[in-house]
Amino acid sequence: MNDSASEDPFAPGPLAQELFYTDAEGEPGSPDEIIRAACLEDWEDLEPRALELLRDEAAKPYDRFLACTALVTWGSAEGYQAVQAAAADPESVPWLGYSVDRLYSVDDTFGLLAHSVADSREMAAERGTQKARLDALAALAALAPDWYLDGALSPQGIYEDDMAALGGPLRAAVSASLPRLTADDPAGFALEMQTAGLIAALDYADPEAASRLAAELVAVDPDNERVRRALGSLAQ
């Protein structure tokens, strides 16, 4: 199967068109709506073909991204494993740069995947893939110093029990991000705000470490009111 014939890199190939642009009634729709609707309808029928598309190295990169998004949304262990593999070697991800944040003009595919993984808690519970889901979130946290995660690992993005379970990865992510804030090579996005969100999430698992790391973050730029607001009482 080769979905790469079209010159438009975002024009879906035949399988992606069938899976993500056509709803259960055969009507056209958006990938976001169709993927979410499948959680209540036909994900079991769609999952094998989505997995086939994800694994197809000849398929269009954005089609494969949609397949990965669908699989994690549906609580698939294979989807979570694909996220871990992508996070382990982010520069080689085929869909890198196929979605770009409008504010910072940086890749946001990892942030989008992180939101999908975070939002898949109920499906993971239904399918018994909770550990794989947490492992995927931990792998994404490790990207924090260098990659935009769109607040997906902040208290606004993940559940309290996720934050409690991810203390170690969150602490490591913050510890790795802080030196980058004073390095000569800027991240290209508001890394200080991303770091503040990670610290606020860490507070649910390790308040002592969160307080210490919050102080270190504030010391980098004491006059940054946005960071102080994101940290809340931790910035006092």
Query: In terms of residue numbers, what domain contains 212?
Result: 75-235
CA distances to 173, 184, 187, 194, 198 from 156, in Å: 17, 30, 22, 12, 10
174 — phi, psi (to 5°)?
-65, -45
pLDDT in tens, 20-61: 999 888 899 999 999 999 999 899 999 999 999 999 999 999
DSSP 8-state symbol, 91? G
| pTM of the entire predicted model | 0.94
Give dist(CA 151, CA 104) in Å, integer.
13
| pLDDT for position 8 | 86
pLDDT digits (tens, 9 = 90+) for 148-176: 999 999 999 999 999 999 999 999 999 99
Residue 151 is assigned to a structural domain of this protein: yes
Q: How many independent structural domains does the chain possess?
A: 1
pLDDT exceeds cutoff 50 at 4: no
Residue 59 lies in a domain: no
Query: For 174-224, how does the pLDDT look when each residue is reduced to its tens digit (9 = 90+)?
Result: 999 999 999 888 899 999 999 999 999 999 999 999 999 999 999 999 999
> 80 lies in a domain?
yes
Q: Is 60 inside a domain boundary?
A: no
Asked if the structure places residue 217 within a domain, the reply is yes
The CA distance from 39 to 36, in Å, is: 6
CB atoms near residue 117 (< 10 Å) = 30
What sign results for the dihedral spanned by CA atoms 170, 119, 60, 51?
Answer: positive
